[in-house]
Amino acid sequence: MLKEAIYHRPKDNFAYAYDDKTLHIRLRTKKDDVKKVYLIYGDPYIWENGEWQTEKKEMRKSGSDDLFDYWFTAIIPPYRRLRYGFELHDENDMLIYTEKGFYDEAPKDDTAYYFCFPFLNKIDVFKAPEWVKDTVWYQIFPERFANGNEKLNPKGTLSWGSADPTPTSFFGGDFEGIIQHLDYLVELGINGIYFTPIFKAPSNHKYDTIDYFEIDPQFGDKQTFKRLVDLCHEKGIRVMLDAVFNHSGYYFAPFQDVLKNGEKSKYKDWFHIREFPLQTKPIPNYDTFAFVGEMPKLNTENPEVKKYLLDVATYWIREFDIDGWRLDVANEVDHQFWREFRQAVKAIKPDVYILGEIWHDSMPWLRGDQFDAVMNYPFTNGALRYFAKGEVKASQFANIITNVLHSYPNNVNEVAFNLLGSHDTPRILTICNGNKEKVKLMFLFQLSFTGTPCIYYGDEIGMTGGQDPGCRKCMIWDEDKQDRDLFAHVQKLISLRKTYKAFGNRGELRFIETNDETNHIAYTKTYEDETILFVLNNSNQELEWTLPLHLKGKLLTNLWTNEQFAADTNEIKTTLSPYGFLIYKVEK
């Protein structure tokens, strides 16, 4: 057994409280190296005749990635404390692994050898709002969804959809337009909307805030926004806003004051200014988002700034009853700020959802004291590389996804924000080179994956566009120009996700087949008694697929066609068309 590959660390994604009484324990070993793993565990204070009392439980393999196997077990320690180690076996050898190293025999004379989960304190358990688990999000870029009130059009507004967007063009999307199309969203089946910023700002994307307490007049007024939120709630749709707290806009009054008064400004410590007078070119002499001089970084360590931003965060919840905050550039803001942010918003609405925009591994923000979720771009990249770009084959895709799932605790995965694209990425149909069948497979994978999916406006009707600003075209409302077949596909997937718990975020995903020749994957999602089997043929060739042995004798329901049949013949072969798929519910 390769000792160097064996890894565990408590109070991390390898050992965490799943709920108020259950601990999840994971172990990593070299791929295909270890045959069996047992958890050796006990309460640290239970001894008999000078020997620490332990029990042993077999762990199961929960998945593999490129290099490693992962092992898993759940434990309910009666006194909420646990000391533990691992007993590993291959064909010939046995090895004990503890916090202090490797042994031939399990040490019994001192619990100090062992890994330690000192106490399961309920207040520290990661808890995201329950409703998020049943949410299908829809992302709206307000400037481009629908123009419902032309009187609000900013100067130079182009007529809807008349041109490709540029970094500075306006098409006049507004709240009234969204209100007029809420029934479209209900018909699609989504039940959460994520709005990119809506506060007063000069650009079309509104990430350069002038005033965090005002709605941008091009979208409407506070009354109209309130009406929009209330209507959404009536229709069972939650509302999430974008909090751009890493930086303000250039025309934010405190920054203007610093520009004007320099070192004498009472706001000089609201930003990170390296020297006076301020200069924006060639590169700003103050911290900014990227090198964008129009986006000066806010000093969130300054108590005045903190108070101001926390007042903003609570104001929109208190006055407008919004349900979530998406935090822009979340990983560049200090952790302490986010801890206080969480306390402040949860104090007034305990089930508000906090979603960080982080494109990378995000464990430090997901320990229960900061965010409920992050935008799961590692998932996005995996899906794009396999389905859209063909950069990886089936087995490597399964490795990527398994790795993503093992990077976080399961309770974090259950509310992860899984997107295929956003206003910051090229549209999926464009990345798929216009191949709609690939897009359909991607939607199937996304909507059957653990976590909460988010659909970027227009992807469901086959809109196209490259990198920003190309991906921000006006929503197409002429039904003849919408891909209604794709719409029906997404609608049906959402409805299946709502009907079957195992289909949605509660099911545990296991890859049961990956084949690099045919490039197909098969996986199951299981929740309690319910198992659903998915087969995705990610290839331009037909696939002859044989039902796996363990399904012999089971009653299967094809959830796409509603056909039912008993898998009782010796071999059941099915032919999948190029980019075809199968969804079977397996009856007990």
Q: Which residues bind ligand ARE (CB under 6 A)?
A: 167, 205, 207, 244, 289-290, 292, 328-329, 357, 359, 423-424, 468
Q: What is the DSSP string of 14-49?
A: TEEESSSS-EEEEEEEETTT-SEEEEEEE-TT-EET
- Please identify, using beta-carbon distances, which residue of 329 and 509 lies nearer to ligand ARE: 329
Residues 464, 484, 474, 138, CA torsion sign? negative
- Please identify, using beta-carbon distances, which residue of 167 and 262 lies nearer to ligand ARE: 167
Of 212, 197, 305, 198, which Cα lies nearest the Cα of 251?
A: 212
Which residue, chain included where needed, has tokens 């960080």?
A: 356
- Tokens, residue 427: 């549209």
- Please identify, using beta-carbon distances, which residue of 42 and 254 lies nearer to ligand ARE: 254
Per DSSP, what are the bridge partners of residue 23?
17, 75
- Please identify, using beta-carbon distances, which residue of 168 and 546 lies nearer to ligand ARE: 168
Phi-psi region of 157 (alpha: psi -120 to 50; beta: other; left: phi over 0): beta
- CA 208 from chain centre, in angstroms, equals 25
Q: How far is the CB of 145 from ligand ARE (least distance, A)?
A: 15
Catalytic site residue from 208, 216, 328, 460 = 328
Indicate the pairing of strand 417-419 with strand 452-456.
Answer: parallel
- Please identify, using beta-carbon distances, which residue of 127 and 297 lies nearer to ligand ARE: 297
Catalytic site residue from 65, 143, 208, 357 = 357
Q: How far is the CB of 333 from ligand ARE (least distance, A)?
A: 10
User: How many angstroms separate the CA atoms of 2 and 173, rounded?
Assistant: 59
Q: How far is the CB of 295 from ligand ARE (least distance, A)?
A: 6
Question: Counting Cβ atoms within 10 Å, is residue 11 exposed (0-12), middle (13-18) or buried (19+)?
Answer: middle
- Tell me whether residue 357 is one of the annotated catalytic residues: yes
Which residue, chain included where needed, has tokens 């195992």?
A: 502
- Tell me whether residue 328 is one of the annotated catalytic residues: yes
Tally of CB atoms within 10 A around 102: 14
- Please identify, using beta-carbon distances, which residue of 28 and 205 lies nearer to ligand ARE: 205
Q: How far is the CB of 328 from ligand ARE (least distance, A)?
A: 5
Q: How far is the CB of 423 from ligand ARE (least distance, A)?
A: 6
Q: How far is the CB of 378 from ligand ARE (least distance, A)?
A: 10
Q: How far is CA 114 from CA 8, 87, 165, 230, 260, in A?
A: 11, 12, 60, 54, 61
- Please identify, using beta-carbon distances, which residue of 292 and 344 lies nearer to ligand ARE: 292
Q: Which residue is at the shortest CB distance from ligand ARE?
A: 207
Please enumerate in sequence order all residues whose Cβ is within 8 A of that of 287, keeping only pairs 6 or more positions apart, or say none.
271, 272, 274, 296, 297
Which residue, chain included where needed, has tokens 């509603």?
A: 562
Per DSSP, what are the bridge partners of residue 61?
71
Q: How far is the CB of 167 from ligand ARE (least distance, A)?
A: 5
Q: What DSSP element (H or E) covers 436? A: helix 436-447
**Which are the catalytic amino acids?**
328, 357
